Amino acid sequence: MKQFEGRVAVVTGAASGIGRELAVACAKRGMKLVLADVDIEGVSATKDLISSDIAVRTKHCDVSSFEAVQSLANLAFGEFGHVHLLFNNAGVAALGPVWSAPPEDWKWVLGVNLMGVAHGIRSFVPRMIAAGEEGHIVNTSSAAGLGAVAGSGVYCASKHAVVAVSECLLKDLEIAGSKLRVNVLCPALVKTAIADSDRHRPAHLAPTNPDSAPFDRRVRAGMDASDVSAADVARITLEAICDDDFYILPHPGVRLRVEKRLHDIIGDHRRHKPDDLDTKAGKT
d(CA 17, CA 195): 11
Q: Confirm if 19 and 2 have CB atoms less than 8 A apart.
A: no
Q: Which helix (H) or strand (E) holds 32?
A: strand 32-37
User: pLDDT tens, position by position, for the chain (284 residues)?
Assistant: 889 999 999 999 999 999 999 999 999 999 999 999 999 999 999 999 999 999 999 999 999 999 999 999 999 999 999 999 999 999 999 999 999 999 999 999 999 999 999 999 999 999 999 999 999 999 999 999 999 999 999 999 999 999 999 999 999 999 999 999 999 999 999 988 788 888 899 999 988 899 999 989 998 999 898 989 999 999 999 999 999 999 999 999 999 999 999 999 988 665 555 554 454 555 54
Domain boundaries of the chain, sorted by first residue? 8-250
Catalytic residues: 155
Angle between the N-to-C axes of helices 66-80 and 115-131, in degrees from 0 to 180, rounded to the nearest 10? 30
Q: State the Cα–Cα distance between residues 243 and 23, nearest whole angstrom.
A: 19
Please give the order of strands across the beta sheet that includes 247-248: 56-60, 32-37, 8-12, 85-88, 135-140, 180-185, 247-248
Note the pLDDT of residue 277: 47
User: CB neighbours of 67 closer than 8 A, spacing ≥ 6?
Assistant: none
- CB atoms < 10 A from the CB of 167, how many? 15
Q: How far apart, in Å, are the Cα atoms of 180 and each of 61, 99, 217, 244?
A: 24, 40, 40, 11
- Closest-CA residue to 33 (of 42, 24, 41): 24
User: Which residues contact residue 283 at a Cβ distance below 8 angstroms, ignoring those fewer than 6 apart?
Assistant: none
Q: E strand or H helix at 136, and its extent? A: strand 135-140
* Res 284: pLDDT: 43
Distance CA 149, CA 146 (A): 10
What class has domain 8-250? alpha beta
Q: How far apart are CA 7 and CA 55, in angstroms?
A: 11
**What do you get for the CA distance between the two ends of the chain, in Å?**
48
Taking a C-beta distance cutoff of 8 angstroms, is the pair 38, 13 a contact? no
pLDDT value at position 194? 84
